[in-house]
Structure 1
Amino acid sequence: MINNNRKYTIGVLQLELSDDVNENLKKAISWTEKAAKEGAQVICLPELYRSKYFCQTEDFNSFNLAEGISGPSANAFQKTARELNVSVIVPIFEKRSFGIYHNSAVVIDANGEILGLYRKMHIPDDPAFYEKYYFTPGDLGFKSFQTKFGKIGTLICWDQWFPEAARLTSLKGAEVLFYPTAIGWHPKEKDKFGTIQKDSWITIQRSHAIANGVYVASVNRVGLEKPKNEQDGIIFWGSSFICNPQGEILAIASEDKEEILLAEVDLNQLETIRRNWPFLRDRRIDAYDEITKRFLDE
């Protein structure tokens, strides 16, 4: 049954994660229970929540962390969602078949039903973010999901930098864009570039909220993660946040603590803002054909 209320509460879980996949699963369930008690109705976990961020290295054995769509994460959270009457976005390292893996998010509704799957479309390949070694680019396109409480869209981390992804997900009817994330600083760069890097990250996502008239919820992890002692590792900068369709920050977390963030989604406000800032109405869809080209050479 779909909720006819024009308001609902979303929650994001900013967590510090360990090498123990089973403990991370238990922890995520425990924090989901806490969020539900505080009033969250749609809850999102960080990207690849069941392990530390293994993409800092190219390690054949890390493929053993992958699970199927009906694996431990989905099975556990189907039960949790049903018991708590909440919808949950569960990011997984998806094993699709032998040699085919995705960075994905399973969307589970409040009755425990799996509503669908989103596979990360944009796959980075940067120092300590070697995701192309592990993940096949998503092939399901941009999607939205009608939960019991509202219609949501899921994108994942590197997707958050691309306005096209936010636009197409919003055009599918999403009221909220959720971005499960694993992003942080290289320790040697933090002092020089840290402030502008994080500010850029927040700014681009706030701009997606404004340009599309949607709420945005970005969910990061915290802590220093070093896959090997000789590596510098990554300081995950936390700072998970939720903003409204005007880009106003409704809730923001610290850089280094585990936290639950809550915010209300008000569809009346969303409608009012879209009436006053009718960006979707005034799009020149007859003039955008060239956006599908890689680059426009003169």
Structure 2
Amino acid sequence: MLIKVGFEITYYAATPTPMVTMLSIHPSRYGDIVGTESITTDPNVPITYYRDSFGNVCGRLVAPAGGITFHGNTLVRDSGQPDLIVPSAQQLPIDQLPDECLLYLMASRYCETDKLTDVAWSLFGHTDPGWNRVQTIIGFVHKHVKFGYQHAHAMKSALDVYEQGNGVCRDYAHLALTFCRCMGIPARYCTGYMGDIGIIPDGSVMDFSGWFEVYLSGRWYTCDARHNKARIGRILMGTGRDAADVALTTSFGRMDLVKFFVISDEIKQEAA
């Protein structure tokens, strides 16, 4: 299938303000981009790109006084298949994990493994290691947390989510991946596009989505504690330890968000 993704994001700035963006599609999906990925600004300012320590594509620019609007428009080819379900996927002993996975077992800005380890073992210590343990964690978080945009808060951590029992997609991901890390399963945060493809639209405003991945049987598997079901049409933009590593925009100075519009829609092949 073909998926049209894009955005229009506007910020106001009183003075020229340096920025770092993470608005590009992840390099792992480069082969699926039809044509070229388009990211422009109004007014037009130069953007230089680099790869961060996680392999994400980041842009550097200086937003002019008065503000800036980012426009994105890309066509992506997707398999149309839902997230993989592999009950046989095994949890590897920590001493057999690749070196690069160890980072995703440790505490990070929003994922306090030191504060939730006892809770995790009391809830999931009886489960079979591997796929079953991950799914049990996802099921618990899905039921424990109540979704609501009014519950969003930039400072909310996994411990806060557990204690408050509410949040948005990033909060579901933070709590679930923290529990996974506590149980010895490498887990990393993901952000990207995920439209209402293959489901009945719920009428909510389109947004970027947060989910997570776990490392089992030598590869990363997609997990989604908010929806607790396999979904179609995820387009990855970035991965990291938690949401702090994959902020869509970071400004080095005061900026106000004025407009935020995102699309992620399946289109007919003949219309492409």
TM-score by length of 2: 0.28
Asked which structure has the greater RCO (Cα within 8 Å, sep 6+), the reply is: 2
Larger helix fraction of residues: 1
Which structure has more strand as a fraction of its residues? 2
TM, length-normalised to structure 1: 0.26
